Structure 1
Amino acid sequence: MGREFIEIFEEWAKDYDESVAGQDPQYAAVFANYEGILNEVTARSTGTVLEFGVGTGNLSEKLLQAGLDVIGIEPSQAMLDIAKEKHPELTVLEGDFLTYPVSDTPVNTIVSTYAFHHLTDDEKAIAVKQFKEILKENGKIVFGDTMFASEIEKQAMIDSAKEKGFSALAEDLQREYYPIIDTLEDIFTTNGFDIEFKQMNHFVWIITAIKNKE
């Protein structure tokens, strides 16, 4: 994920679990149905799972409880420390979507929540191309993230946040690289994936992309 956001990740670490629990009104709609989002990503995951943006380890916990073999990737030391404290048994390596240590053994599933938007569209395309190389045949990418149906919808959400006085949310929506669904679909299909989208709340969709047989 975009290393330019590291300072933000470090600041978010101490309050992240409170925010996802809906205790921050600015982000309540973003994290609505949070448990459902994690459960949906987990249900779609199989085998050896590579998780990007482990954060404080909430998705990791669900994956481990499901009996999956999880390898976590996280660029923020503050987030990484919390995840390891919660789940000492979890393997978490320092890295991001573009630069990460992996073994020569392909993985079954690549997952992430609330993180892929930290890459520009060009970086997303590079990442997806790399993912294809480390996935097994018929392997899956399952991401839950904020995305928008159109630029018009995205601007409307920014305007709404400003009207409600949610300055931090409005700033996030303008600063980070929240994708348009058609753009994401093009990135994945161009790289040989079948993709489907499922909306989980007003902001967040889950994308499931399955690697095509070549």
Structure 2
Amino acid sequence: MGTEFNKLFDEWSEHYDRTVAGHDMQYREVFEGYEDILEAVAVRASGTVVEFGVGTGNLTEKLLARGLRVYGIEPSEGMRAQFGKRGLAATLMEGDFLHYPAIAEPIDTIVSTYAFHHLTDEEKGQAISQYAAWLGYGGRIIFADTAFQDEAARRSIELAVEEAGFKELLKNLQSEYYTTLNVLTGMFEAHGFHVALSPMNRFVWLMEAVKTDGS
């Protein structure tokens, strides 16, 4: 359920920001337009926000700059340590997409970037079910993450990555739980959300799900 990646993120935490800035050639295209992707998530958020997988706090900082109240949830001890160094005025908690401390106030928006793929499709559905019960009518889930438009796109991208000689990226794409847009859309719609999808780069899609079911 994502926690199996904690060791990787603990090790990655000290140089994560260099990776997202484009210093790792293999992942440069994955993080192309990184700041714009974060901003696209931040400008769509409102009210009290829960951010899953805060990492070093890059999105959190943009949310706070917009005057939003932020509860940040992060499973990796290393990432929480890096986050803490920034002194951001957010409430940081240990947890993951499925297991997290109770928050004693209504939540308006749930956000995450580059993290939801750490859940299997079954776990993604479980998480969305929990969030649907948590959010009221008009509540929003805004995720930006790597996903494939369809299975043909998955094969095409994996082939291009293999031809480029990016063995680490290829292993990542084939071993983590990246899914397709129709699967994601179906999950959200099954739990009373209207979904809008926008491509941000060849790997990353912006997913905005608005709860239209008042139950």
What TM-score, normalized to structure 1?
0.97
Q: 8 Å contact 1:147–1:203 — kept in the other structure? A: yes
1:82 corresponding residue in structure 2:
82
Residue aligning to 2:142: 142
Q: What does residue 10 of structure 1 align with?
A: 10
Worse-superposed segment, 74-83 or 10-19: 10-19
Which residue of the partner structure matches residue 62 of structure 1?
Answer: 62
The Cα offsets for residues 18-69 of structure 1, whole Å up to 9 and x where unpaired, read as: 0110111100100001011010000000000000000010000000111100
Correspondence list, 1:189-204, <5 A: 189-204=189-204
3-state SS, counterpart of residue 101 of structure 2? coil
Task: Quote the Cα distance in structure 1 between the aligned partners of 2:72 and 2:108.
Answer: 14
**What does residue range 1-214 of structure 1 map to in structure 2 within 5 Å?**
2-214=2-214
With 64-73 and 9-18 compared, the bigger mean Cα shift is at 9-18
Contact 2:48-2:108 at 8 Å conserved across structures: yes
1:88 and 1:164 map into 2 onto residues whose CA distance is 39
**1:181, CA displacement in angstroms?**
0.2
Say which is worse superposed, 172-181 or 88-97, in terms of deviation: 88-97
Q: Distance in 2 between the 1:111 and 1:88 partners?
A: 17
Could you tell me which amino acid in structure 1 is paired with residue 173 of structure 2? Answer: L
Counterpart AA for 2:144: G
Give the CA deviation at 1:90: 2.1
CA distance in 1, matches of 2:35, 2:61: 12
SS at match of 1:137: coil
Contact kept in structure 2, 1:47 and 1:107, CA below 8 Å = yes
Cα separation, 1, equivalents of 2:179 and 2:87: 31
CA contact (8 A) 1:197 1:205 kept: yes
The range that moved more, 154-163 or 91-100, is: 154-163
Q: Shift of the alpha carbon at 1:3?
A: 1.1
| Deviation at residue 87 of structure 1 after TM alignment | 2.7
For structure 2, the 5+ residue unaligned runs are none
Output one character per residue of 1:114-151: Cα deviation in whole Å (capped at 9) or x when no partner.
Answer: 00000000000000000011113210000000011111
What stretches of structure 1 of length at least 5 have no aligned partner? Answer: none
Q: Distance in 2 between matches of 1:32 and 1:193?
A: 28
TM-score of the superposed pair, with normalisation by structure 2? 0.97
Offset of residue 105 of structure 1? 2.1
- Give the CA deviation at 1:88: 4.1
Instruction: In structure 2, give the amino acid aligned to 1:95.
Output: G
